[in-house]
Amino acid sequence: MASPGSGFWSFGSEDGSGDSENPGTARAWCQVAQKFTGGIGNKLCALLYGDAEKPAESGGSQPPRAAAEGRLHLCSKVDVNYAFLHATDLLPACDGERPTLAFLQDVMNILLQYVVKSFDRSTKVIDFHYPNELLQEYNWELADQPQNLEEILMHCQTTLKYAIKTGHPRYFNQLSTGLDMVGLAADWLTSTANTNMFTYEIAPVFVLLEYVTLKKMREIIGWPGGSGDGIFSPGGAISNMYAMMIARFKMFPEVKEKGMAAVPRLIAFTSEHSHFSLKKGAAALGIGTDSVILIKCDERGKMIPSDLERRILEAKQKGFVPFLVSATAGTTVYGAFDPLLAVADICKKYKIWMHVDAAWGGGLLMSRKHKWKLSGVERANSVTWNPHKMMGVPLQCSALLVREEGLMQNCNQMHASYLFQQDKHYDLSYDTGDKALQCGRHVDVFKLWLMWRAKGTTGFEAHVDKCLELAEYLYNIIKNREGYEMVFDGKPQHTNVCFWYIPPSLRTLEDNEERMSRLSKVAPVIKARMMEYGTTMVSYQPLGDKVNFFRMVISNPAATHQDIDFLIEEIERLGQDL
């Protein structure tokens, strides 16, 4: 195979010898090729065998082995000069099959090289350039006239050159890391299918897989028989907003037609360490950010139930209506798990919808060792769970699970007759689009479903257990190591490990305002140096009265103890002179 972008396409080997000595390989390719429609399969086989001798059509006999061996033309390379080709020369153009296959094969070569480099620790996590540098170095502007395919391939290479290798074993910057090969393959297939999730008639398999997968997730949560409802949405923020919408509709169904003017002042409650999406959702739904009450947390970042009950009573005394409590299972910074059983008791007592934002922590439900941290989640009315975080599914993959079946449909349906005809010839319950806010909805389920088939529940369990073990390994190394201070005491509940690195110049200073001011500048400088060297990435932030500290998270199963050791050494190397 020629190098990416070279303009050659062949089924032969890199040295040009091809597979002429292995007709079985050609037959295997032709079996795949026959799956193609529109005559492409036969033409692929013609490329493999030559026009005079290709495998018989289905039901026919195969050509004699000797004849096939004598007529294989696998090593002939097809010279495609991309400099003279444009997108209009690709399918569905007449005679577009050959340049299309060549072009896509070269794109695939670019992608596969990137995949391999993502796991190579000798490569950079990031080739960092400042925005103005990238803007000046390349022309990113859109033009009236088309570029040729050679330039298009160069754009693909350039884009990946400056992309963050989120699958790199030393990338720890976000909750979503790693690059799963089966998930990647599933994402490619999803894009190739290029369909919408609103009806069974245009996405039959995907709709069924969503039904099966959401049911399985509800079973794992603990709802009897996996009963209830759910949907995959464009991220945890939208899943949380769905929960707010449904909770509001459950209490005041008239809000759907008459709006917020027809209902009293509604109040939602969530912890002060919860995700900002709760306030965003309140703003978008017309509830208002002032109607989201933040509940105090303990030193480990867990919601304090007594403060929740106190604030509920305060709201009721003012004549407001508490309609939702959002507990968090795995907070973004500390990785804390709110006491779900105590929260559930309070919600039951005051008849308030209980939502659990388990976007980050939901993956622990796959682990027999760690699922106890979500005890009480089965009592929730709704749950957000993002498999694209702890379970390593490629972005995006977020689910909103609802315990009461039919409620989501009643809340959101608009009966668009041009999509959801009531006289179709199949079970209309599989037309799921009317319960979604979106009309166009991306297929997010196939990655998760295919990975689940490939790994099994036990594979996800091993993934989760390994990542939490690595977090504990990091904690045990730095908790008593010179130059480190933990943000809170005790080993982490999730993979979040929060700490300050104290440079030698600050270690003898008194704990006063000047020291805190200088310490707040340490993490940003070390992070900037990490990015400029490209060696690793880890996040930092302030929180409350605590100045900037590092928040290490691990969700990539490619990471090892050696990568944790490297991170510690790199922080010390980059920060010792501060």
CA distances 17 to 55, 71, 72, 398, Å, are: 22, 15, 12, 47
CA distances 385 to 379, 403, 562, Å, are: 15, 14, 30
Query: Are the C-beta atoms of 248 and 323 separated by less than 8 Å?
Result: yes
Residue 531, in any domain of the structure: no
Which token pair is 389?
Answer: 């975080």
DSSP 8-state assignment for residue 329: B
The pTM score is 0.86
- The predicted-structure confidence for 409-463, as pLDDT tens digits, reads as follows 999 998 878 788 898 898 888 889 889 999 999 999 999 999 999 999 999 999 9
Residues forming beta bridges with residue 17, ordered by sequence position = none
Burial (CB < 10 A; 0-12, 13-18, 19+), residue 492, is buried
144 band by pLDDT with thresholds 50, 70 and 90: very high
- The predicted-structure confidence for 99-129, as pLDDT tens digits, reads as follows 999 999 999 999 999 999 999 999 999 999 9
> Which range marks the domain in which residue 254 is found?
191-421+429-453
Mean pLDDT value across residues 91-102: 96
Which token pair is 277?
Answer: 């999406």
- The predicted-structure confidence for 18-40, as pLDDT tens digits, reads as follows 444 444 444 544 554 444 444 44
Asked if residue 55 has pLDDT above 60, the reply is no
DSSP labels for 211-242?
HHHHHHHHHHHT-GGG-SEEEEESSHHHHHHH
- The predicted-structure confidence for 68-88, as pLDDT tens digits, reads as follows 343 333 334 467 999 999 999
Mean pLDDT value across residues 245-264: 97
Query: Are the C-beta atoms of 68 and 23 separated by less than 8 Å?
Result: yes
- The predicted-structure confidence for 293-321, as pLDDT tens digits, reads as follows 999 999 999 999 999 999 999 999 999 99
pLDDT at residue 313, rounded to an integer? 98
Which token pair is 540?
Answer: 């930092």
Distance CA 149, CA 85 (A): 6
**CATH code of 415's domain:** 3.40.640.10
Residue 535, in any domain of the structure: no
Asked if residue 63 has pLDDT above 50, the reply is no
pLDDT at residue 31, rounded to an integer? 52
- Residues 57-91 as b/e (b if ≥16 CB within 10 A, e otherwise) read eeeeeebeeeebeebbbbeebeebebeebbeebbb
Residue 539, in any domain of the structure: no
Residue 502, in any domain of the structure: no
Residue 277, in any domain of the structure: yes
State whether residue 8 is helix, strand or coil. strand
Which token pair is 471?
Answer: 């977090």
49 band by pLDDT with thresholds 50, 70 and 90: very low
Residue 397, in any domain of the structure: yes
Residue 218, in any domain of the structure: yes
- The mean pLDDT of the chain is 89
- Residues 465-477 as b/e (b if ≥16 CB within 10 A, e otherwise) read bbbbebbebbbeb
Task: Work out how many domains the chain is built from and give that number.
Answer: 1
Residue 268, in any domain of the structure: yes
Which token pair is 76?
Answer: 């002939």
